[in-house]
Amino acid sequence: MKIILTGATGFLGSAIKNHFINEDIITVGRKHCDVIAHLEQDIPVLPAADLVIHAAGKAHSVPKNDEEEKEFYDVNVKGTENLLQGLNHSYNLPKSFVFISSIAVYGAEEGFLLDETTPLLANDAYGKSKIEAEKLVLEWCRSNNVTCAILRLPLLAGSNPPGNLGAMVKAVKKGYYFNIAGGKAKKSIARREDVASVILVASKKGGIFNLTDGYHPSFNELSEIISKQLKKAKPLNIPLWLAKLMAFGGDFIGNKAPINTKKLRKITKDLTFADEKARTVLGWKPETVLAAFKI
C-alpha cells in the first residue's frame, strides 16, 4: 500500500510512520521528507497513493497577537487546502483520506463524555482552524468519492510529549509542579501508538471519531505516575482558595502568568469525551494511559 503522510517528523506523525514502516510511505513536509513543501504556501507535487494521512498542523501555543493567530489559519487551513490541491493534480486520487483533528473543535471547557454530535463551538485560533480544515476535507472527499475519516484527538501521551503533558513532565522533573484542589479534575487522553494503530481501520470505514483511552485520568493520577517514573516525591497540593488568589494576580499578567482565572478554570473542571462510536465501528481498544504511558 502506498501512503502519503504529512507531519511525519512530529510527535504523532513519527508514531504513525513507525506503525506503517512496512508500507510504501511518501512523507511530505518542510525538511527531511520525500516531498519538500511548506504546505501553508506551496501546492505539493504528489504521486498517486492509496491513502493520505494528514497529521501536519500547528498546535501547543497560545497566540499573543493577530500575526500569531494567523499562523494557525495558514498552517492548519491553508496548508490543508494546498494539500488537497496537490492531490487534485496527482495521477490518481486516493481511496481514503484520514485527517488528524482535535477535540478542541468543540470549544468546551468542561463537560462529561461529550460525543461526536456535540456542536463545534471553538472560538480560539487553534479550534477554529481545525473546524475549517475539517470542512475542507469533508467537502473534498464528498466531491471526489474518497472515503474520509476524521480523528478528533484529546491530550496525547507518549515518550517526550509536547504541549500540556510535556509541561507537566518538565515541572515534576524540576520540582515545581503542584496539584490544585487535589488534582481531581479528569481529562481525556490517549496514547499516540494506539491512535496510529487504528488509522488503517478508520481509513476503510470512514466517519468522525473521538479517541480516548476510556479511563480519563485525573491530574493527580497523571502527576503521580510521572513522579514515580522520574523517582520524584509525590507533588504537593495547593488549596483552591490559595489558587484563586494566585489566579487573580495572574489576570493582570495575562497568558504569560503561570496561572490566571482562565487557566484555573480549565484545570479544575472535568472535560471528558465519549469514544463509544470508535469502539463500536472501528473496534477501538486502546490501553489505558496510566498502565502504558512511558515518559
Q: How much is the pLDDT for 16?
A: 98
Alpha carbon distance 55, 137 (integer Å): 13
Q: Write down the pLDDT at residue 46.
A: 96
pLDDT in the model for residue 73: 96
Question: Which pLDDT belongs to residue 97?
Answer: 98
Task: Report which residue type is found at 97.
Answer: F
2-157+189-213+273-287: CATH architecture: 3-Layer(aba) Sandwich (3.40)
The confidence score (pLDDT) of residue 257 equals 72
Evaluated on CA atoms 244, 249, 255, 256, the torsion sign reads negative
C-alpha 293/C-alpha 290 separation (Å) is 6
Separation CA 194–CA 212 (nearest Å): 9
Angle made by CA atoms 118, 181, 127, in degrees to the nearest 5? 30
Q: Which sequence spans correspond to the domains of the chain?
A: 2-157+189-213+273-287
d(CA 266, CA 273): 15
Contact of 19 with 1, CB cutoff 8 Å:
no
How many Cα atoms sit within 13 Å of 46 on the Cβ side?
32
Which residues of the chain, if any, have pLDDT below 50? none
What distance in Å separates the CA atoms of residue 7 and residue 75, rounded to the nearest whole number? 11
Q: Are 116 and 209 in contact (CB under 8 A)?
A: yes
The answer to whether the beta carbons of residues 265 and 105 sit under 8 Å apart is: no
